[in-house]
Amino acid sequence: MAPDSNIASESGLALFRPSLRATLLLIPPALAALGIALFLRYGIIQNTPLGLGCEGGGESLTCTIRWGTILMFTWDVFGWVAVALALVQLWRPNIVAFGLGVVFAALGLVLYNTRLSALAVALLVLSLARAAPKAR
């Protein structure tokens, strides 16, 4: 038995694996989502002077973005969307659901939706053990 063979290749079942090209296309949006989430959390939401200005009646675009983001993580939007996309990915593996699931999971992990986003990450990892769509 060759050292690089695995049970899936021996049984003739091809697992869902993003190609190198797809992986390289998924990395920038995932890193961008992570960067945007970090900026939203530490640059806008947890910025005390900005928060006091917005709560004191400021009506700027930054205050609107801050309010909308707080509203979305209060309702667990990032986590629920990540879980929904991960379930779609688990049901029917495809690169679009996988990529969007990773993006929303990254947003949720940074923006206070950690439980649901961690579940989504676990489901996305589990989806890598599913059969590829061509093998069905």
Strand, helix or coil for residue 131:
strand
Give me the long-range contacts of 45-54 (CB less than 8 A, separation at least 24). 45/69, 45/70
Residue boundaries of the structural domains of the chain: 33-130
The 10s digit of each residue's pLDDT in 45-62 is: 999 999 999 999 889 999
The 10s digit of each residue's pLDDT in 11-54 is: 667 888 899 999 999 999 999 999 999 999 999 999 999 999 99
Its pTM stands at 0.86
Cβ neighbour number for residue 51 with a 10 Å cutoff:
16
